[in-house]
């Protein structure tokens, strides 16, 4: 029996999963369960790279895992685990950091971007070195594939370079992972900007139908369409971006034509979107609610997955230690 390729990905536990997270990553994770050996982890150590406030991390971990399970991740088909429960990640991070030039880390675009976004006057080593921890996360499980959007390919290439350098310096231990490109749709938030927790413009997977209606109906549309009789341009309308995701082609054309000719109003367009969006999201919300009502079960799932993941991590570190022999 041929072994399946292995895939690995993770999310920081920063709160409940929103529609952008789902469409950009989680829905693809669910699909990959059919063809890959899947490892998905709670990247809780990565939270510490730019904040010391960890008070919400345990609760956020449970909320996020409830969303994962509600969306269709199956603990019988995927290994779901918590990064910080596997200390081997920290050991591998240390060893990889010894073989990684600082110049490689300083050229990572997100390092400077994060400093500017958070107005950090004294960024930590952890922020500079987080790509090495990310590499340890991936290389630990000898993953063949890492599902990412095109903008994250440089991160995977850096992981490949770190693996290559370690293999050359010591002994060949690691698989060089490849990026598995995923087409991430444009998912606008309720204010028209990119959907993001930091903008408080999200539609969460756990939102009830009435909550989603309250968020969608006031959404901004084409700013040039000030009156019902003004023609609009669906190409610049955030609501139409959601139509492209949820609405069948025929109804998309109806909405686009109605917008351009002022044949329909913006509320008509939004109501049409909701007719297609809500039936897709409601089963996810219902499953998510059932899991969220049993937080102890979620913790058990994550701990059981962490036990399985740690067995693999221990085996990997035996290979690593045999390559980096220090003690007599």
Among 55, 68, 52, 82, which Cα is nearest to 16's?
Answer: 68
What 3-state class would DSSP assign to 4?
coil
Same-domain check for residues 168 and 298: yes
Tens digits of residue pLDDT in 81-108? 999 999 999 999 999 999 999 999 988 8
Q: Can you give the residue range of the structural domain that contains 306?
A: 6-187+294-323
Distance CA 89, CA 92 (A): 5
Tens digits of residue pLDDT in 271-311? 999 999 999 999 999 999 999 999 999 999 999 999 999 99
311: domain CATH number is 3.40.50.620
Global confidence as pTM:
0.94
Inside any domain, residue 200:
no
Same-domain check for residues 135 and 282: no
Per the structure, how many domains does the chain have?
Answer: 2
Q: Say yes or no to pLDDT of 54 above 70.
A: yes
Q: What is the DSSP string of 252-266?
A: HHHHHHHHHTT-S-H
Helices (H), 72-190: 88-97, 102-106, 109-118, 125-140, 153-169
User: Would you tell me how many other CB atoms lie within 10 Å of the CB of residue 218?
Assistant: 10
Question: Among 201-205, 222-226, 314-318, whose mean pLDDT is lowest?
Answer: 222-226
Q: What is the mean pLDDT of the chain?
A: 95
Distance CA 193, CA 47 (A): 24
Residue 119: per-residue pLDDT: 84
């Amino acid at each position: 029996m041929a072994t399946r390729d292995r895939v690995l990905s993770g999310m920081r536990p920063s709160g409940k999963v929103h529609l952008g997270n789902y469409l950009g990553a989680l829905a693809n994770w669910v699909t990959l369960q059919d063809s890959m050996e899947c490892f998905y982890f709670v990247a809780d150590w990565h939270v510490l790279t730019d904040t010391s406030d960890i008070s919400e991390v345990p609760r956020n971990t449970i909320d996020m895992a409830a969303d994962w399970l509600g969306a269709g991740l199956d603990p019988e088909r995927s290994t779901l685990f918590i990064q910080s429960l596997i200390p081997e990640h920290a050991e591998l991070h240390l060893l990889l950091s010894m073989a990684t030039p600082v110049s490689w880390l300083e050229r990572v675009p997100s390092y400077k971007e994060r400093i500017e976004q958070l107005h950090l006057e004294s960024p930590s080593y952890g922020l500079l070195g987080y790509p090495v921890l990310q590499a340890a996360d991936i290389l630990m499980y000898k993953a063949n594939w890492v599902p990412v959007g095109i903008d994250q390919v440089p991160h995977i290439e850096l992981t490949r370079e770190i693996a290559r350098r370690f293999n050359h310096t010591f002994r060949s231990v690691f698989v060089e992972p490849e990026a598995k490109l995923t087409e991430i749709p444009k998912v606008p938030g309720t204010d028209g900007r990119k959907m993001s927790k930091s903008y408080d413009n999200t539609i969460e997977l756990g939102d009830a139908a009435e909550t989603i209606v309250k968020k969608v109906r006031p959404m901004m549309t084409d700013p040039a369409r000030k009156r019902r009789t003004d023609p609009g341009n669906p190409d610049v309308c955030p609501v139409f971006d959601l139509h492209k995701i949820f609405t069948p082609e025929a109804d998309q054309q109806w909405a686009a034509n109605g917008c351009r000719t002022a044949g329909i109003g913006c509320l008509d367009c939004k109501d049409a979107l909701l007719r297609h969006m809500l039936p897709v999201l409601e089963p996810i919300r219902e499953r998510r609610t059932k899991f969220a009502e049993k937080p102890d079960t979620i913790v058990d799932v994550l701990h059981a997955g962490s036990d399985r993941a740690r067995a693999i991590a221990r085996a990997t570190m035996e290979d690593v230690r045999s390559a980096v022999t220090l003690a007599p």
